[in-house]
Structure formats: C-alpha cells, structure tokens
Amino acid sequence: MPIIPWRPFWDIERWFEEEWPEWEWPREIIPTVRTPRMDIYETDDKVVAEVELPGVKPENINVEVKNDILKIEAKAEEKKEEKGKGYYRKETGTRYFKRTVSLPTEVIGEKAEAEYSDGILKVTIPKAKPKEVKEKKIKVKVKK
C-alpha cells in the first residue's frame, strides 16, 4: 500500500475548485501550497511577472492577460523509473498549476510577450498610458 502524505491545504483547494469550477479564485484570497512562486514588478513602461515552472515544457504553458488580470496555466508530466536490488518501480505523475493575479496597474494585454528559459517563465506587459484627466472648475450654486 502506497504511503501518501496528508496535505490538508490541497483538500481545501480541491474543494473550492470542485464546488465553484467556473469561478477564477484569485490566489491572494485562497493561497495554495502547490502554486509556483511568482515575482511581479514594474518598470517605467511595463509590468513583468517571473514564474518558476521547472520541468514544464513550453508547449504546456498558457498565458492570458485580460482586464489587467494575468492568468497562467501549466501542466508538467513526470516519469521516473528506478531499477536495482531486485525491485523495479515506475512512478508517473502530472502537476497542474493555475495562477490568476491582479496586475498593479492598467496594461496593454494585447502586446504582452512571454519567454521561457531555464525553468523560468517571464511575461512582459506594456503599461497603458495614463488617461489624461482634464481639470474642470465647478461653480457652486447657492440654493435659496
């Protein structure tokens, strides 16, 4: 009988995903222990997200930017075989990651770019130009 470690947070996350599969749970609300680490930072003209996705093939990574929200999904299949000392063991597993985060500023999602190197996914999204706010003087009327 295989020994499976008890991970209560996985059960909670799975429950939320099964009960409300259509809802994109922001990970700021429900953190997960299986979520890959992500750094998000800004420069003068862009927002950059760097995500650790070791062992994931680039063709198994999906990146979307919509309404200033970044969504990353990735799937990795693991296969491991061991032989020796009269035993043979083969382990296969699939890891699936889904991360949805609100970006710190308005961006131009259509111009986002992503590159993958050495297990790190880097998503670069240009910032939207700030909307010009015109000043308007408002005359205060006195009501009698």
Span 19-60, pLDDT tens digits: 665 565 554 444 444 578 899 999 999 999 999 998 889 999
Domains of the chain: 35-126 (2.60.40.790)
CA–CA gap between residue 21 and residue 85 (Å, rounded):
45
pTM of the model: 0.63
* Structure-block tokens of residue 114: 């992503």
Instruction: Report which of residues 89 and 43 the model is more confident about.
Output: 43
What do you get for the CA distance between the two ends of the chain, in Å?
86
Q: Give pLDDT, residue 128.
A: 94
CA–CA gap between residue 105 and residue 130 (Å, rounded):
10
Distances in whole angstroms, Cα of residue 58 to Cα of each of 73, 83, 95, 115: 11, 30, 14, 9
